[in-house]
Structure 1
Amino acid sequence: MNSLVVRKNIDLPALPDTVLPAIAQLTTALGIPRDVLASAEEIEYAWRDLPRELREIPDDLRGELVARMCVAVSAGLFDGAMNYIWNASVLHLRQKIRNFGLAVVAQIIQNDFEEKNLLELQDSRLLDLCLKLNIINEDGFFFLDQCRDVRNNFSAAHPTMGSVNDREFTIFLNRCVRYALADSSSPTGVNIGSFISAVKGTRFNDHQCQIWIQRLTDTHAAQRQLLLNMIHGVYCDPATAEPARLNSLDICCGLKGSLTASIKSELINNHSDYIAKGLEDKHTASLQFFEKLGYLSLLNESELHVVLSRAIDRLWNAHNGMNNFYNEPPFAERLLELSQQSAIPETIQDHFVQTIAVCRVGNGYGVADAAIPYYNQLIQGFSPREIATLIRSAIGKTSYLGRKILTNGSCRTNFKEALLLIDPASIPSGVKTDYDTLIS
């Protein structure tokens, strides 16, 4: 839960009665026109608007440069004031990069990056890096880059192209505060080498897993996406040891609630690349990855068909094999889990419905009791089309299900129990008469 940050009002002293007259006296003494400097009205309006902006700057960032900016504003030196607040913004953005971790930045940009490199960065490249690290967003980059251009051409940092008035200065100040200074927090980067080494090491314990999940949560979205793509690759690599695969899955499951559309899209792109390149081992592992995460709905219908078809076939083989009453439940449970992740493709609905129905009615020796709760949930989740398929199969004398119901009393009783699990309101009108006959 985010705590509400209450900003204290900043009460600046009134401008002394001597300040504005002193400016006029100074220009007169120098023999220059009064209008080469900000007018008394502009100074008064800029001074009046200062507290509103200053209160958004955290206490620990209201330092020397902010004080100098205020003094410059009181004298109408807006060009100098812009330079001071810009420098304060740049220093704070540099500190955010330090907090992120210079070694981690070096890993991300794939180049050496030490304190010297940070200090030598031109302002334009500093903003580029902050955007890449998600320290500022795209809006912040756009407006701060505009401020950079204004500062270079209209502030005291360089010979100016012209002057700015109080409103232009206040807009400049607002953007520096809003996009650079207002938020004193900053993400901490994750050391990529250490992370991958940990994932590929021994099996995580709960505490170790939570530490890495928290570190990925605390970093910025772009790095989180990079790292999740990497561990998806680790999971799908046939050479990866099972502990590393399980570690990868634990991390992804722990972050499932915060996976953005962009991250999901990138995972799908990686998965599609395996198909395009004919990497069957990796493709199979990737299908399992999406299944374990509960993201089968992200896959296309043909791939869903493959995954569900295999699960249905395995249940059918268990049902028809030795000791089926003991072997069916785990296969029934898995099919239920898969069906809850996505709608069943039409290409496999008939096979899906008839397999579940046949298993649910059992055989002459009974039903796999431990599997019944799974079959019941599956039947209760049938779509109208699947319900119609179920009913038509039950009345068809040529279907396997129909013959079992017709010739075996216990199967007929079990089927009626299963049919009563379906809400009558869900019965399609085209099979309503047959439904009434079956339950009568």
Structure 2
Amino acid sequence: MSDLTLWQPDSKELLPASAKTPAEISNYAVQLSGRDKTQIVSAFESGHYEMAINYLWGKATAALRKELSTVGVGLLGEMLGKTDVDEHDDVDDILTAKDTIKLAEELGIVSSTDGMRLRHTYEIITHFSQLETSDSDIEEIDESEAISSLKACVKGVLGRPKVEVAKRFIDFREALDSETLSEGDQRVEMLKGSPYFFNKLTISVLMSAVKKNTGANLDHTLANINTLVPAIWGNLRDAEKWQVGQTYAEAYADGKSTVVGGLKSALLKVKGFDYVPENLRSSTFLKAADAIIKAHEGLNNFYNEAAPVRALSKLGSTIPTPALPACISALLCIVLGNRYGVSWSAADEAKGILSVITNDRWVYYFNNVLPGDVRILEKLSLDRPATNWCALMKQYQLFDLDVKNKNVGLLLAATKSAELSRVQRFASALIQEYYGKKS
């Protein structure tokens, strides 16, 4: 095998089509105890579907987080772009439900189809948990939704024995700050031929490590930055190049001379100083974008989204280029919403910010960010967000911009004609392209 690959789940059928009742389906949940199965079946038989699904969901996410923790909490933080996470943190404290599903899918613990079904289950749970008391007396989870959720949790998580996840990349990641790789090292060549996901993750790992490491580990990290950054620089998109430049600027501002020297050497090799921001204003925008995502993906999101969007709008009318990817992605999350709709107050504020983004900056987003913006691409698989996407693109007339990526071009063409099935198909193609998976 010449490149890094995601671990692929066993393709055999874990839940036969003949399993239709809660008792039959639960019987295939090998990670549940007999007592757990009995409680779930009893809740179903009593018509307490919301209670059953909430209990089941707790078991499924706990199993996923336990499995994810085997790769190291630090790596999980790096995959999420969280710089304040280390191995001493509790995995339950740093991973939201959506983070858990996203990482499980990226590391190949669950398939993209299972990931979609798990996200749907989570959205059902959060939707009904957020209903006002008067509404919850009228609207409740019905049996078919509960059965679908039970199947999703068993097929995606609880029906699988424990697996070894992404070992090839984990070994590679550990080498980044424990040994110095040479230019001719097989692992360097392996990275150069890998899907973009691994290039992006490697940059995140290295930039996070250079902020945390000291002594010999820092020496290894800086040496590997000087080997790997030049090796993959030509393949990197601007978002990752700005990440390297931003890390240099922060180290310079903090007076970390050793780090500054190592990063400067790497940037000189690739003529990368165009990607070093003149000031650290972008850090404030990045934190604001992160706050929007946290509100959007948390509980009571329709209520909680307005405040962080308003906070971003007060930072100024021009978003610094290094923060542009995160900010546009966060704002699109608010405008596109989820399968249940959008927070109108937050969406109107977000549209106000997006409305002043110039066409050249949208071109930048489409060419350098959207091909790897899985959060947005996954939203386009849902009818309501995809419809909102088409309306937004029409409002801003963004169909005929100079887009280099073939699938992004096809996505915008489908958007122009508001063909949701084609929008969804090309969004899926971009996700497959990003992870290097075959459709």
TM-score category of the 2 structures, normalised to the smaller one:
0.3 to 0.5
Looking at both structures, which has the greater relative contact order when contacts are Cα pairs under 8 Å and sequence separation is at least 6?
2
TM-score, normalising length from structure 2?
0.36
Which structure: larger Rg? Answer: 1
TM-score, normalising length from structure 1?
0.36
